[in-house]
Structure 1
Amino acid sequence: MVAKESKFVPEIKGALRNHVIEVPSIIRDCGGIKIFGKRIKSLLFTTDVALIRNSNADAIIAVYPFTPQPLITQALVMAADVPVFCGVGGGITQGKRVINLALDAEFKGAMGVVVNAPTANEIVHKIRATIDIPVIVTVISEDEDISKRIEAGATILNVSGGKKTAQIVRNIRKRFPEFPIIATGGPTESSIRETIQAGANAITFTPPTSASIMGNLMDNYRNE
C-alpha cells in the first residue's frame, strides 16, 4: 500500500496576531460534525471575548454558570469569527424561559444551543419544535437514558463526564453508531486521543485563562 502523501499547507501569520490559543493538533484526527455545510472538529470552551478572537478553534461552545442572558449571547456571537454554540440553561434556568432563550439565540445568529444535563425531555422536545438550529444536550453520567434524549429531539450529544468521558462516549457509540457526539477531551494529548478513539466526532478544549496567559507574559517581560 502506498502511503498517503501529506499536503503542504501554507501558514500566514501577522506581526500582531501570531500569539493565539491553538487547540491540540491531535483534535484534527477526529472526523468532525458537518453543520450547515461547515465541518467542526474543535470547540473552544469559553465566554472570554479576548480568547474567542484569538484562537484557531473551529467553533466556540459558550456555557456559563449563570442564568443565560440575551445580551451575553449577542456579545459572544458578534465577537466571534467562527460559529458559536450558546448555553440556554436547563439547570438553574428551567421551563418556558429556556425555550425563549433558545429562540432568541437562533435569532441572534448562534449556530446551536446547549442545554444542561438536568433539562427535562419535555423541554428538549419543545425547543426542537421551536428552533431550526441544533439542540445540543449535555450528558454527564453513564446512567443517562440516551434513547429518551434522542427521541425528545436532541440533535447532538455533548458528553462531559470528567474522567469517565471516554467510557460514556464508548457506550453511546456502541448503541448509536452514527449519532453526533461532542466530548471534552481532557487535559492531555493521550486523554484526547482516547476520547476520539472512543467515538467522539468533535472535541471541546478548555483554554488557559486570560489571567494565567497574562501572568506568563508579564514574567517574560520581567526577565527581558
Structure 2
Amino acid sequence: MTNNDKNKKIVPEVKGTLRSHMIELPEVIRNATGIRVFGKRLKSFVFSTDVAVIRNTNADAVIAVYPFTPQPVITAAIVLAADVPVFCGVGGGLTMGKRVVNLALDAEFKGAMGVVVNSPTPNDIIREVRETIDIPIIVTVVSEYEDVQARIDSGATILNVSGAKRTSHIVRSIREKFPSIPIIATGGNNEASIIETIEAGANAITYTPPTTGKIFGDTMNSYRKKFE
C-alpha cells in the first residue's frame, strides 16, 4: 500500500430512502476555496426561493434573491424551510432608501446569515445598512467597470459577481485588484464554465437549479413510459 493510499480521505455518505432523490450540485464546485462565514465554510450556493428545492439540495447555502420587492414573510418562510445558511435579498433595485435598511435588519432578526443588495444600490445605502446590521452584506457586481473600492469602503463584505458570459472575466479583473475580497460568482450551466470561474478567482459558486416544473415533468415522463 502506497502512502497516497494511506492518506486518502474516505468520506462516508448517509442517505435516506425517500430523500435520496435530490438536486446535487456539480461536484467540481468543491474545488473552490470557499468562504468562511461565522465559522462555516461555504463553497456552493443554490440560487432559489423555492422551499421544495431548498429542502432537497446539497448546497452549502441558499442565496434567495427574486425580481420583486422583498417581503419579510418570504424571508421568514425561506429561513424556516432551509436547513443551511440563507442569504436574503433586501432590494437595492426596485426597492430603495430606508426600506432596504429596514429589510436588512428584519432579515438579521429572522435568522438570515447575510443580506444581498442589487447592483444599483447607492453606496450611502450600503453604508447605512453596514451601520445597522452585524451580518455580512453581499453586493452584486455586474461589470468590471464598477467602482469596487467604493463598494468595499461603504461596507460590502462579499462581492456577488453576476455577469452572464463575462462573469469569469469580471472575477479575474476584480481579483487582480483585490486579492483578499471574498467573491461569489455564477458558474454557468456546465462544469467547464464553473472551473473557469473558480480559476479566475471566485471563492464560491452560485448554481441555478432546474425548476420544480422541469424536474416533475421528467418524473411524469418516466411514469408514462411504464404504460407504453
CA deviations on 1:36-56 (whole Å, 9 max, x unpaired) are 000000000000000000000
Secondary structure, aligned partner of 1:150: helix
1:65 & 1:48 partners in 2: Cα distance?
14
After the TM superposition, list the runs of 4 or more consecutive aligned residues in structure 1 that deviate by more than 6 angstroms: 1-4
Letter in 1 for 2:81: A
Letter in 2 for 1:217: T
Secondary structure, aligned partner of 1:182: strand
Counterpart of 1:127? 129
Letter in 2 for 1:206: T
Which residues of 2 match residues 112-191 of structure 1 at below 5 A?
112-191=114-193
Counterpart of 2:96? 94
Letter in 2 for 1:175: K
Alignment length, in residue pairs?
Answer: 224
Aligned-pair identity in percent equals 67
- Give the counterpart of 1:7 among 9, 16, 22: 9
1:94 & 1:106 partners in 2: Cα distance?
18
**What TM-score comes out, normalization by structure 2 length?**
0.96
Secondary structure, aligned partner of 2:88: strand
Counterpart of 1:202? 204
Deviation at 1:4? Answer: 8.8
CA deviations on 1:155-184 (whole Å, 9 max, x unpaired) are 000000000000000000000101100000
Unmatched segments (≥5 aa) in structure 2: none
CA deviations on 1:73-96 (whole Å, 9 max, x unpaired) are 000000000000000000000000
Counterpart of 1:215? 217
Secondary structure, aligned partner of 2:16: coil
**What TM-score comes out, normalization by structure 1 length?**
0.98
Secondary structure, aligned partner of 2:8: coil
Counterpart of 1:82? 84
Counterpart of 1:50? 52
Letter in 1 for 2:87: F
Letter in 2 for 1:8: I
Unmatched segments (≥5 aa) in structure 1: none
Deviation at 1:12? Answer: 1.2
- Residue 16 (str. 1) matches residue 18 (str. 2): yes
Deviation at 1:2? Answer: 6.2
CA deviations on 1:167-206 (whole Å, 9 max, x unpaired) are 0000000001011000000111000000000000000000
Counterpart of 1:106? 108
CA deviations on 1:85-125 (whole Å, 9 max, x unpaired) are 00000000000000000000000000000000000000000
1:6 & 1:155 partners in 2: Cα distance?
35
2:176 & 2:100 partners in 1: Cα distance?
31
1:4 & 1:70 partners in 2: Cα distance?
51
